[in-house]
Amino acid sequence: MQQAGSRDIKSAISPTLAINELVHSMRDKGRKIFHMGFGEAPFPVPPRMMDALRDNARERSYLPVAGLPQLCKAVAEHQAFHADVDMERFDVLIGPGSKIILFALQMAIPGDTLLPVPSWVSYSPQSKLLGQHVVPVPMGLSGGGLVLEAAAIDQAVEQARAAGHNPTKLLINFPSNPTGLTIDDATLLSIVEVCRSRNLILISDEIYGRLSFDHRYRSAARHFPEGCVVTTGLSKHLSLGGWRLGISLIPKSLPGLFEDLCHIASETWSCVAAPVQIAAVEAYLNHPDIEAFITSTTDIHAYINRRIAEQLSRLGVNCVSPQGGFYTWPDFSNVLDGVYTSSEQMAASLLEQHGVATLPGVVFGEDSATLKLRLSGCDYDGETALDIWASSGGPGTRADLLERMAPNITAALTELGSFIFDCNPATDAESTHRPEEISDR
Ligand SMILES: Cc1ncc(COP(=O)(O)O)c(C=O)c1O
């Protein structure tokens, strides 16, 4: 029974999971919905990992709280190899997804959290659940894209301290959900400089790190081994969100942090499922088949999400081409200003009238009046897309590649064109939205 004053379940759950449930219930009722609301990579489980999971199904015992030692070792070697991190300076802790590790980290580091705007939907609710204050750090614009500037962090710290808050940590994420943009090395170094001078712990959410479209995994830990905590896991680059395996690297020079996290882990999740941890070792041994899978699937994400950005730009929407992950972050103000007064209203109409599910910018901390949406480019069958990609030899070969790999994405782009045209028939959006006009370059 619901208590007086408590929220109903729909308004209480995280927006990403809520939109996913809504889409499934609309589809169950027979509606055709194009799902750009939820970031779930669609590729099949790599056969080697499926075999390892099956072979270890009989493992039924609890494992050490920090994680299976072979997995921690493989993760350490992998981070050293792919991200050039000096792993002598870090401990590894495994958890049931990086989301709960991020929550545990915020719990273990008292004080308030500096959060860039926009940021992933769950950081701020997690801080609030812990009774911590969130200090927003507005992003600046550079070359058309959003950039986290050292001066903005510095200013936010100054103002927060003057207002009686106690910012102790900065949480960054790159490539970013929602923007799809990464942080270059020079910017990372300037962010690290502020963290050092302001005595901030840097929490670097690198869950999309291996999905960088240039195939370079940049880790902030490389530049800040004494004060940067990294979180990552299997969910994104291996499409294994449901396996619930997350990873964290904890600097040895932050006294007591690793122990505090182990304490939280031991009193809450105890350990990640034994068969999953054993199978996860395979993900970190640089097997050629797993590495080839990561390369191809990253290329497919790059191809599809860049095409989404290109097509939106053609429709007159301001959309920067993404650099990693599987999201785009279009701003519809150019074409829909005056038609909608909030991103929620715009997202609701798009879903209701055109069957395209998205998330409004406001849930990422953006001002509600800014007409931004986060689009996830994952609504396609990963196995089919991989087969077509392998046989086509990549982009530029077939004009209908996007349509064949991801028909729901081309249909969603068509609907987006109609949405703009219906709202604003004076534009020539209708003439530019048809899928046959989406050509490969
Ligand atoms: C930016 C970001 N961080 C963390 C997570 C959590 O991933 P997981 O708990 O599956 O490791 C997600 C998942 O959507 C995400 O987008």
DSSP class per residue in 255-302: TTHHHHHHHHHHHTT-S--HHHHHHHHGGGTT-HHHHHHHHHHHHHHH
| Ligand 1 atom index nearest CA of 16 | 14
Q: Which two tokens stand for residue 89?
A: 């300076």
Residue found by looking up tokens 């689009």 in the block: 375
* pLDDT computed for residue 133 by the predictor: 96
What is the band of 2 on the pLDDT scale with cuts at 50, 70, 90? very low
CA distances from 399 to 51, 215, 326, 348, 440 (A): 37, 25, 22, 32, 5
Atom in ligand 1 nearest the alpha carbon of residue 232: 11
Enclosing H/E stretch for 247: strand 246-251
For the ranges 48-62, 280-294, 330-344, 385-399, the lowest mean pLDDT is seen at 385-399
Helix, strand, or coil (residue 48): helix
Residue-range domains of the chain with CATH: 9-43+289-437 (3.90.1150.10), 62-285 (3.40.640.10)
Which of 177, 179, 243 best tests ligand 1's pocket when mutated (most atoms within 8 Å of CB)? 177
pLDDT digits (tens, 9 = 90+) for 299-323: 999 999 999 999 999 999 999 999 9
Determine the residue type at 331: D
10-24 pLDDT, tens digit each: 667 777 777 888 888
118 alpha carbon to ligand 1 midpoint, in Å? 15
pLDDT at position 98 is 98
| Residue of 16, 75, 99 to test ligand 1 pocket, by largest number of atoms within 8 Å of CB | 99
Helix count and strand count (H, E) for the chain: 17, 14
Cα dihedral across residues 409, 350, 327, 316: positive or negative: positive
Q: Which of 171, 182, 195 is nearest to 146 (CA)?
A: 182
Residue 368 CA from chain centroid, whole number: 21
> In testing the pocket of ligand 1, which one of 75, 102, 120, 204 has its CB within 8 Å of the most ligand atoms?
120
Contact 56, 279 (CB under 8 A): yes
Per-residue pLDDT of 189-224, as tens digits, reads 999 999 999 999 999 999 999 999 999 999 999 999
Instruction: Report CA-CA distances (Å) from 246 to 26, 47, 281, 282, 301.
Output: 31, 20, 12, 15, 21
**Which residues are near ligand 1 (CB < 6 Å)?**
39, 97-99, 120, 173, 177, 205, 207, 233, 235, 241, 246
> Residue 6: is its pLDDT beyond 60?
no
Closest CA to 108 of 208, 222, 251, 236: 251
